[in-house]
Chains A and B, each alone.
Chain A
């Protein structure tokens, strides 16, 4: 079956670092994605990992371990505007070719002053 798990909620302090974990079990794997979604708005793409290791993009980094079915999103120098839900998604294989995104339920991050 398809299963993506991430914590429901997290709280962190402005200026700090927070790590949001995601574990997945899917029948196939063709990449792991992180999206940011502010309440009532559209998801926006943050990062993509297909090989093991760390991808860094400014204040955001994403890590993948395919053997462990594990990823994390690291947010540094937290700002109030980072308060949002963070969605982990895995792209599956479909009919022998690249599939579509399977999303976790999201982690709601609250950044406090």
Chain B
């Protein structure tokens, strides 16, 4: 158990809908990262937050957005969902955002039908 929690574990929704994925980092960690893992693309970095501020952006679509709240939990919002958005979404956390070890949560499996 990494100490990172993600909810929900599974999510099934229809095309065009909007969903919110939630992540709580390890106690004391200030940085949160979101990743998408699909069978054909592997693990792709989406976005990083540090202490409430966006620090870096990867291959995140405009239909996706995220935020980190004052209590350091983070939410990833996915809208106008398409079949291709079906994937495992992982959240990871690290202490400072520049340290080398990231701790991954168990993931949310999103299925878009």
Query: Which A residues form the contact surface with B (CB < 8 A)?
Result: 31, 33, 41-45, 48, 87, 89, 91, 94, 98-106
* C-alpha spacing A33/B43, complex, angstroms: 13
Summarize A's interface: helix, strand, loop or mixed: strand
In the complex, are the beta carbons of B42 and A103 less than 8 A apart? yes
A42 to B90, CA, bound (A): 7
Count of chain B residues near A, Cβ 8 A: 21
B residues touching A (Cβ–Cβ < 8 Å)?
A: 2, 4, 33, 41-45, 48, 56, 58, 90, 98, 100-107
Q: Given contacts A41-B106, A100-B58, is CB(A48)–CB(B100) below 8 Å?
A: yes
In the assembled complex, the CB of A22 is this many whole angstroms from the nearest CB of chain B, namely 13
A42, A44, A94, A103 interface centre (most CB from chain B within 10 Å): A42
Closest to A41 in B: B106
- Assess whether A45 is in contact with B42, with CB atoms less than 8 Å apart: no
Q: Given A42-B90, A42-B106, A103-B43, is A98 in contact with B98 using a C-beta cutoff of 8 Å?
A: yes
Q: How far is the CA of A88 from the CA of B56 in the complex (A)?
A: 20
A42 touches B107 (CB 8 A): yes
How far apart sit A102 and B56, CA to CA, in the bound complex (Å)?
A: 13
